[in-house]
Amino acid sequence: MSTGRRWLIQLSVRHDFIDFIFAEIVSLADYVGLGTDFFTDEVREYARKYFRIIFEETETITQEKLERICSRSVSTHGLYELLEEGSTYQELIENLKSNPDDNRKDYYTLQFAFGIEMVNRNKMSMPERLKKFENLEPGLPMTGKINLNNPEVLLVLLERYPPCKNNEKKKPEEMDHVFLSRFITGGQRKLIQDYAVTNRIAVGNTSMDAELALWMSNIAQIDETSFVFDPFVGTGSLLLTSAHYGSHVIGSDINYNVMMAKGKSARMGQGDRNSNETLFGSLAHFDLENKYIGAAIIDNNINPWRECSNGWFDAIITDPPYGVREKCEKVGHANHREDWINFEMPDNHFPDKVSYNLADVFNDLLAFSFKHLRNGGRLIFWFPVSKDELNKHGKDLYPRHSGFDLMFDCEQCLNTRTSRILLTYEKVQVNVDDEGLISESKVHAMRNGFRELYFQPTKPGTVHPKKKVGTQWNKASEYTNEES
């Protein structure tokens, strides 16, 4: 065992969302100053197999930084200091006896409790647990009292089992490694329930699942100094979680009824929307109204924002409409003639809307973000794709802009034909005098249109893809309430 201190972060066991989890952890590691060089391909592969990341103390990797990651992450169950290890329990006990106990002797006299954490096997019976605890006594002479309610130190056995195949859980004898550890702190999984759609004031057809929204906010690296904008804000799901982390928020949307809490509610049986079902009301419900800057009813295609040399926003986080539950629309006239006379319209006039080409939605979003994001700011949005085209073109399918670096792409399966990708871009310094560097985004035009492809009937005899370990295959409905 290494003489330096080591820690282990236990991740949420979400086979379909491991890329989201890793993107959150890497972003938070960069945010707290731990850096990203540590996260090699080997670390990623280990996390995919065992849903754990092991850190060894260096000048940049410290317990304080790891605790800061866990204080924000909704992907972590806990942070543990590794005290000893072995490939079997017998080897663990022998190592406890023979190796120096400098890293654990201070805990011998404290009030303590034991715990066991395991991945890829079924629940463990209480007799089996007690036997494992008792067998540690020769190498772990704990003299303090047992205190199950409020222990001064919680010692945890972290068992490791090989990855499952076809969701078949492993047997006890298949364990291939075990760590003795000290529990330090937990993650923030509770926030998923706190900000669940059912606990919000304002909900809509496209309200974002809480876990996805929290991931997006953490990947954006926002904090109390951030100014965050959502140009397709809807009911404010993404700004709600951004405000939770301290950022000031502002949103806009073309939908008057949603922004002004008019018309029918998306809640079954409610009838019309209540007057407080606005962005401000959503924030106020969670005592976050002091983070509210404003909300505007505008078309992002012809937005009123003036340009700022350093950019207005620290992050732009959004879920653009792509025709499944909300139409892609912009302000315009469907039957505009050459001899059209533009009369001055009254203040209460509602402009006409026309269809907004899906490729133009993302083209305009990247162009807008390049103008209004600060250098180093992040743009995060969902991008719908055909599985066939994704397999054929890969990352060439994604929107591109020379002013942005692609940081992460995380896939969520929607059905057998379609997925949506959570794309994270970071704005880079570009010579604005060179027009070639800031050319228009290149967006691949999806064949048949995404809406038609999404609702296309499944051919008889089609076998739905089964969930695979280490991939994102599964029914989206198991993990999120809505798709845009």
Q: What is the pLDDT of residues 124-171, one digit of tens each?
A: 889 999 999 999 988 999 999 999 999 999 999 999 998 887 778 888
Which of 62-66, 200-204, 413-417 has the largest mean confidence?
A: 62-66
Q: Based on the structure, what is the number of domains in the chain? A: 2
Claim to verify: residue 174 and residue 271 sit in the same structural domain: no
**In the prediction, which pLDDT does 184 show?**
97
Give the domain CATH number at 414: 3.40.50.150
Whether 64 is in a domain gets the answer yes
Give the domain CATH number at 19: 3.30.2130.30
Claim to verify: residue 52 and residue 199 sit in the same structural domain: no
Tell me the residue range of the domain where 203 lies.
Answer: 194-338+345-478
Confidence of residue 393 (pLDDT cuts 50, 70, 90): confident
Claim to verify: residue 252 and residue 380 sit in the same structural domain: yes
Give burial (CB, 10 Å; 0-12/13-18/19+) of 114: buried
Claim to verify: residue 106 and residue 200 sit in the same structural domain: no
**Range 207-236 burial, b when 16+ CB lie within 10 A, else e:** bbbbbbbbbbbbbbbbeeebbbbbbbbbbb
Whether 446 is in a domain gets the answer yes
Confidence of residue 195 (pLDDT cuts 50, 70, 90): very high
Among 91-105, 271-285, 301-315, 443-457, the least confident range = 443-457
- Beta-strand runs (E) in 389-435: 404-413, 418-427
**In the prediction, which pLDDT does 483 show?**
37
Claim to verify: residue 198 and residue 300 sit in the same structural domain: yes
Claim to verify: residue 369 and residue 257 sit in the same structural domain: yes
Q: What is the DSSP letter of 264?
A: B
Claim to verify: residue 409 and residue 431 sit in the same structural domain: yes
Alpha-carbon span 163 to 470, nearest angstrom: 9
Alpha-carbon span 20 to 17, nearest angstrom: 5
Tell me the mean pLDDT in the region 10-31: 94
Domain boundary among 188, 212, 241: 188
From the DSSP assignment, how many helices (H) and strands (E) are in the chain?
13, 15
Claim to verify: residue 166 and residue 209 sit in the same structural domain: no
Domain boundary among 125, 160, 188: 188
| DSSP-derived 3-state class of residue 48 | helix
Alpha-carbon span 261 to 171, nearest angstrom: 54
Domain boundary among 150, 171, 188: 188
Alpha-carbon span 445 to 336, nearest angstrom: 26
Q: What is the pLDDT of residues 321-375, one digit of tens each?
A: 875 555 555 555 555 555 555 556 555 555 555 556 777 788 889 989 999 999 9
Claim to verify: residue 176 and residue 220 sit in the same structural domain: no
